[in-house]
Structure formats: C-alpha cells, structure tokens
Structure 1
C-alpha cells in the first residue's frame, strides 16, 4: 500500500510536538506534505477532510493525562473515510496516561484507521532554567527515534495492499479514561518591568488569553497554562510566580528527573 500524501495535524504551543511530527514525516519521505498547525485559534475554526489515499498524522501534547479539550473540539469536525492514521502524544516526562488511547479512539470515531501510535517526551511546559523538567527534549536521540518511527510506518504500509488488511493496534490506556480535561483557572504569570510590550506573547497564545495592548492582562479562564508566552518572551520578562503552578513545577522537578524514553506501537 503506497501513500503519496501525508498530512501533519498538530497542536504545539511550545513547538515540541511540531518538532516530533516533522521528524516522523522526514522518515516517511512523502511526495507531498501538508501541514495543518491548529495551535492558533483561527486555524481550529477550519475543519479537516482527509481521503483514503492519504496518511494523517495527528500530534498533541498531554494535558493532565488527556488530550487537550480544545483539540477534541477540533477533532469532532474531522472528516475521514478509511483514512490510515498515526496518533502521537508528547508529554513532559511524567506519564502520558490515557492520552494516546483517547486520541486513537477519537480519530477512529471520525473515520480513521489507526495503524500506529507513539509517545514522545518534550520539555514540560512548566520547566524553566531554575526548575527544569525534561529540559532540551526532544533531544537528538528523540528526533532520531522519530525519524526511525516514520521509516517503520512506511515498512508497515508496504506490507499490505489494502487498509482492510491492517490489524487493530493496541496502545496503553484505561477505560474509563483517567486524568482531567478541565484546567486550572489561576493567576500564575508574573510580568516584570523588563516587558517592552512587543506583543509576541499575545501572538503566540493559542487561546487569545493575553491582551495585545497590555501583556500583563491575562484572561485566567481562557488560559490553558501552556506557558508558550513565557518561553517565547525575548526579554525573559514573564515567569511563574508562587502558587499552585509553581508548586506543581517543584514537584515535577523533584519527581520526574529520570529521563523517560519514547515508545512506538505498531
């Protein structure tokens, strides 16, 4: 079975999921690569339709052990018809819990046929130089693993002549799903006097929670604690202040030091 077109669809506020998916695509080496970056809110307003002769690779970060709720809303509009698909989750060196099985079952319900799944490690969104967790991940070993995963996908697809010949893939997870889909509504970002109101933080926010005219104004209900604004600030003017997010940051730094390894499921 040959696939000439690969579609990458990902939500990636801090670019870790984006990096992994592009490395997987590099291993596949398709004739045509279409990229659907649903990190921006306007992009999530556009439904995706994929065909049987295309390969869809969906990548999401793990939030509270689950698929981010706003990604689920976009997935509900996905239209597929026996489309081969690959599910990828990226987590911050704690656990990926039920996110992978949830993603697999979500896209199956939209008409996809999952042929592979994988879990990779990315630097945790709460990580910083003072309290790092999985700092620098995905590293070169992760990226090499992702490229090899792409090559393994090609080999698997070439082993059959029709999508109906694929056996269902098994991935770890629980029924019912554990973890939470509701995030904290918390004022956790400190903005220092170094802020020059450049607007980059507002531009990278995937949920438009930052006022473009005043970056210190943050809508706590909209905010999904992705920390993209903190990591993208050119002046390092944004940081996590004392409170529940900082407490979680400390726990992660203490309890999640041992590097996890990526896994794939074929």
Structure 2
C-alpha cells in the first residue's frame, strides 16, 4: 500500500510529544511530511481534513490517565475518510491508563482506520532534576520510536488495501474513568528575574498568560503543563508550595522505576 503523504498531528506544550512523533517519522521515511501542530489556540481553530492516500500519526500527552479534555472538541472535528492512522500517547513515567484506547476510539469515530498504537514516556510536566522521567524521550526511547516507524512501513508495504488490516488491540477499558477537568490552582511564582520578554505567553497552549504582564495568569484556563516554567529564558518562573509541588514530590518518589515504551501493531 502506497502512502502519498505523512501527516504528523501533535499537541506538545513542552516538546516531548513532538520529539516522539519525529522519531517515528524517521523510521517510516516517507517522501513528504506535513506537520499539524495543534499546540496553540489558533492552530486548533482549523479542523483536520484527511484522505485514504495519507498516513496520520495523531499524538497527545496523557493528562490524568486520559486524552486532554481541552483537545476533545478539535479531535472530534477531524474529517477523515478511511485514513490509516497511528495513535500515540506520551506520559510522564506514571501510567497512561485508558488514554490510548480513548484516542483510538475518537479517531475511529471520525473516519480514521487505526493501524497501530503506541505509548511513550516523556519528561513529566512537573519535573525537576530529581524526576525519573527527566530528559525523556532519550536516545533509547527515540531509537525505539524509529524502529516502530520501520514496523509501520513494513506493515503498509505488506498489504494492498486497508481491508486487509485487522483491528489493532490496545490496552484500556471502557468506560474510561478518570478526570478530564484539570486543576484550577495558583501555582506559578514569578521572580524579579522576569524581563517581560513574552516567551511565556507565546508558549502557553491555552492563552492563560497575559502577554503584557507575565505574572498575570488565568488559572481557569491554565492546564498545568508548565511550558512557561520550562521555557522561560531567565528562569524567572518557578512552582509555589502547594498542590502541584506536592504532586511533583509524589511523582519523584512513587514512580521511580523506568517505564519502557510500548507499541501495538496487530
């Protein structure tokens, strides 16, 4: 089966999901790649249109064991027509629960045909130097992603049409359970190091940071992705003591064993 175009679709506030997707694409080695980065609010204003001549990789981070609720409307607006699709979730070395199954179900309803699924580990949003997931996806993870990409290419080359593809079984149970609504919490401290460069506002995936006054944050919009903390060039943004810092402590102490990436092809 020949694929004319590979579309990389991802939500990646801190860049980890994007790196995983690029690793998979390196293994597929298509002639043409189109990136659909839905991280910014403006990017999510346009629906995704796709056809059977394309291969989609749809990748999202795991939030509390689920597909992020803020992506629900956009994902459910996808207009696909028997489009072969790879579903990918990226989690912070804790668990991915039912997120991969949920993503598969969503894209299937929108006209996609899942041919593979995968779960990778990325640096946790709440990470610091002590967090077990720090620096992931690392070289080993990206090597795994590239091998997965090669397996996808081999699978497509072995068939003449999608009718030969059996349903891909991925872990998870229905109903999905968990919580899709995120915390409404004031957890970011801004120090005198802030020079009001505006980077924090630019990288915020939900427009929660005021572009003119960076210490002003809309806590109802904030999804605790910590992109503004991680990408501040002055190191002026840190966590305040409270719920998020306590969650980071739990991640650092309860989930220390290195989780390995997984993929599902049959």
Smaller-chain TM-score range? over 0.9
Instruction: For residues 60-93 of structure 1, give each alpha carbon's deviation from its aligned partner in whole angstroms, at most 9, with x where no partner exists.
Output: 0000100011212111110001100000000000
Alpha-carbon distance, 1:256 to partner: 1.0
- Could you tell me how far 1:132 is from its partner in structure 2? 1.9
Match of 2:234 in 1: 235
Shift of 1:4: 2.4
Q: What residue number does 1:166 align with?
A: 165
CA offset at residue 242 of structure 1?
0.6
CA-CA distance at 1:106 after TM superposition: 0.2
1:117 aligns with 2:117: yes
CA contact (8 A) 2:132 2:258 kept: no
Query: How far apart in 1 are the matches of 2:251 and 2:157?
Result: 41
Q: What's 1:253 paired with?
A: 252
1:7 positional shift: 0.3
Report matched runs for 1:122-133 at 5 Å. 122-129=122-129, 131-133=130-132
- Matched residue of 2:80: which SS? coil
Partner of 2:210: 211
Write out per-residue CA displacement over residues 106-143 of structure 1, whole angstroms, 9 at most, x where no aligned residue.
000000000000000000000012x4240000000000
Q: Deviations over 1:18-56 (max 9, x none)?
A: 000011111111111000000010000011100011001
Equivalent runs, 1:134-173 vs 2, <5 Å: 134-173=133-172
- The number of residue pairs the alignment matches comes to 265
Q: Distance in 2 between matches of 1:178 and 1:70?
A: 16
Q: Which residue of 1 aligns with 2:222?
A: 223
- Contact 2:132/2:255 (<8 A) preserved: yes
1:10 is aligned to 10
Q: How does 1:190-201 map to 2 (within 5 A)?
A: 190-201=189-200
Task: Return the alpha-carbon distance in structure 2 between the equivalents of residues 256 and 236 of structure 1.
Answer: 26
Q: Distance in 2 between matches of 1:29 and 1:212?
A: 39
Q: Is the 8 A contact 1:66 1:102 kept in 2?
A: yes
Quote the Cα distance in structure 2 between the aligned partners of 1:123 and 1:31. Answer: 30
User: 1 CA distance for matches of 2:131 and 2:150?
Assistant: 32
8 Å CA contact retained: 1:115, 1:168: yes
Are 1:19 and 2:19 counterparts? yes
Q: Secondary structure at the match of 1:160?
A: coil
1:68 aligns with 2:72: no
Does the residue aligned with 1:217 lie in a helix, a strand or coil?
Answer: coil
TM-score by length of 2: 0.98
What is the TM-score with the length of structure 1 in the denominator? Answer: 0.98
User: How many angstroms does 1:178 deviate by?
Assistant: 2.1
**Using the alignment, how far apart are the partners of 2:91 and 2:174 within structure 1?**
20
Instruction: Give yes or no for contact 1:97–1:178 (8 Å, CA) kept in 2.
Output: no
SS at match of 1:56: strand
Gaps of 5+ in 2: none
Distance in 2 of aligned mates of 1:176 and 1:53:
33
- For residues 135 and 97 of structure 1, the distance between their equivalents in structure 2, rounded to whole angstroms, comes to 21
